[in-house]
């Protein structure tokens, strides 16, 4: 019986402009999974730059497959609008879901905001809402945007 190695914990670091293409691909891929009711072309790679403007970002990396040219692969990113302590974006490459990437990035956002932050989540994205609730975030406000209903979570 072969023993499987324990999965590696994500390695976190600050965003670098060289990360742009990988993060933009994750930005699109993760939204297509999270928002299946939206048309496939509702979000484009070019939307990434506008979405992160004025925000501070961190990326999570996991060991890359042996066939990769680099030892680490970007698995997700978090973007925080620091003046409001607002987690604007948290996206994980779908193949890395369930590996602790989102949790690690969310904890990094909390460390950067001295333990207090808020975020909005599309109410129809129940998986994400449950993800935040399981990590101690509490729903504190509900609203409606052109894209649909949202919930503000805070911690």
Q: State residue 116's pLDDT score.
A: 97
Cα dihedral 75/77/70/25 (nearest 10): 80
Q: State residue 40's pLDDT score.
A: 87
Local confidence band at 7 (pLDDT 50, 70, 90 cut-offs): low
- Cα gap 72→2, rounded to integer Å: 25
Task: Mention every residue, 6+ apart, whose C-beta is less than 8 A from residue 130.
Answer: none
- Whether the Cβ atoms of residue 107 and residue 131 lie closer than 8 Å to each other: no
**Residue 132 burial by CB count (10 A; 0-12/13-18/19+): exposed, middle or buried?**
buried
Local confidence band at 67 (pLDDT 50, 70, 90 cut-offs): confident
pLDDT of 6 > 90? The answer is: no
Q: Which fold is adopted by the domain 11-114?
A: Aminopeptidase (3.40.630)
- Cα gap 43→32, rounded to integer Å: 8
The pLDDT tens digits for 8-60 are 799 999 999 999 999 999 999 999 999 999 998 999 999 999 999 999 999 99
């Amino acid at each position: 019986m072969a023993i499987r190695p324990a999965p590696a914990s994500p390695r976190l670091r600050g965003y670098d402009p060289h990360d742009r293409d990988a993060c933009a691909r994750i930005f699109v891929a993760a939204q297509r999974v999270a928002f299946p009711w939206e048309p496939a072309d509702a979000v484009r790679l070019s939307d990434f730059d506008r979405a992160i403007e004025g925000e501070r970002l961190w990326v999570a990396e996991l060991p890359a497959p042996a066939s990769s040219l680099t030892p680490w692969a970007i698995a997700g990113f978090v973007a925080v609008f620091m003046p409001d302590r607002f987690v604007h974006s948290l996206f994980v490459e779908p193949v890395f879901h369930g590996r602790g990437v989102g949790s690690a990035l969310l904890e990094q956002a909390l460390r950067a905001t001295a333990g207090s932050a808020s975020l909005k989540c599309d109410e129809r994205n129940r998986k994400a809402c449950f993800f935040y609730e399981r990590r101690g975030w509490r729903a504190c406000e509900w609203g409606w945007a052109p894209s649909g209903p949202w919930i503000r979570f805070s911690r």
